[in-house]
Amino acid sequence: MTETIELRIYKKYAHLLLQPYEGTEMGQFVSVHIPVGDTKLQKVAELTKQIQEEHNDFFFLYSSIKREYSKHELDTAALLQMVIKTTFEPAGEECGTLYDETTSCDICGANRKQIGPLWLKRSSIPKKDIARTIAGEVVMSDRFAEALTETKLKGVSLEPIQFQKRSSETYYQLVASAEVELSKDTVAGVNYFDHSETSDGEIYKCAKGHTIGLNLLSEVYVEKNEIIHQNDFMASRQKIGVKRGLLRPEPIYLCSQAFRNVVQAENITGLTFEVAHIV
Ligand SMILES: [Zn+2]
């Protein structure tokens, strides 16, 4: 596995880290991919602090962690993380989906209860086999839903989505019926350089343990449990994200090789896999 951090650095500060030939210009930013372990990352941390203190400004605006696996690593993993690549809106709440907020945590806002079917706007759903709304509702094509049902994968719960305008296509909401515990090895935070647990009144790490951080930063580590071997699709009990407007903390989704096999056999679009670890 290779792990790199993509940073979009403000062009006016890029010379503090990079040679003129390094990185790719993107408007007012320079994008650069730095391997984890490179001493440049330590320098980024120092520059971030320095520019904050001296100019009350950001060194970089955006960062993301990218992992690339060999076929062998993915083929032999005992557990996989299912990563949904596309996000869309409007969210269910804006289209008439009802939620009971009284069940949600008063600290982090996780665990509200959906009441009844998921309502969405048909025309806003991306042309992928799987996608998620900004509020974390997972939507799946008829094709993908059928493939999972035919294979009798365990842990998959599907309910038809409702639309105000009649549609010839059917979409399903995907929910995991099994839940697993993340281990403390799973790292979450604002970004690679900032592990703040709260900011501007927002709570990123819940004292009650529901939400563990704003973004997932490491690979996923799951506590050993027979539930993992009894199911093909699972959600983590601990959530990632924040309560902000329509946004809510969301689970991480995990799946078996059987689930991945269906995705590969049917050329399912809109998702990718990372290796998850059982500890
Ligand atoms: Zn909470």
Q: pLDDT digits over 55-73, tens only?
A: 999 999 999 999 999 999 9
- Distance, in Å, from the CA atom of 217 to the CA atom of 220, rounded to the nearest integer, reads 9
The alpha carbon of 204 and the centre of ligand 1 are apart by a number of angstroms equal to 9
Pairing mode, if any, of strands 233-240 and 179-180? Answer: parallel
* Helix H or strand E encompassing 8: strand 2-10
- The predicted pLDDT at position 168 comes to 82
The alpha carbon of 115 and the centre of ligand 1 are apart by a number of angstroms equal to 20
- The predicted pLDDT at position 87 comes to 98
The alpha carbon of 105 and the centre of ligand 1 are apart by a number of angstroms equal to 5
Paired tokens of 228:
């993992």
- The predicted pLDDT at position 254 comes to 98
Whether 167 shows a pLDDT value over 90: the answer reads: no
Mean pLDDT to the nearest integer, 119-134: 97
The alpha carbon of 172 and the centre of ligand 1 are apart by a number of angstroms equal to 28
The alpha carbon of 242 and the centre of ligand 1 are apart by a number of angstroms equal to 10
The alpha carbon of 208 and the centre of ligand 1 are apart by a number of angstroms equal to 5
Average pLDDT of the chain is 97
Whether 165 shows a pLDDT value over 90: the answer reads: no
- The predicted pLDDT at position 34 comes to 97
- Distance, in Å, from the CA atom of 170 to the CA atom of 178, rounded to the nearest integer, reads 24
Whether 7 shows a pLDDT value over 90: the answer reads: yes
Which has the closest alpha carbon to 271: 130, 92, 91?
A: 130
Question: 93: which DSSP letter?
Answer: G
| Per-residue pLDDT reduced to its tens digit, 68-101 | 999 999 999 999 999 999 999 999 999 999 999 9
Q: How many CB atoms lie within 10 A of CB 47?
A: 18
- Distance, in Å, from the CA atom of 22 to the CA atom of 99, rounded to the nearest integer, reads 49
pTM of the model: 0.94
Partner residues linked to 65 by β-bridges: 5
Residue recorded with tokens 């096999």: 261
The alpha carbon of 111 and the centre of ligand 1 are apart by a number of angstroms equal to 8
Partner residues linked to 62 by β-bridges: 8
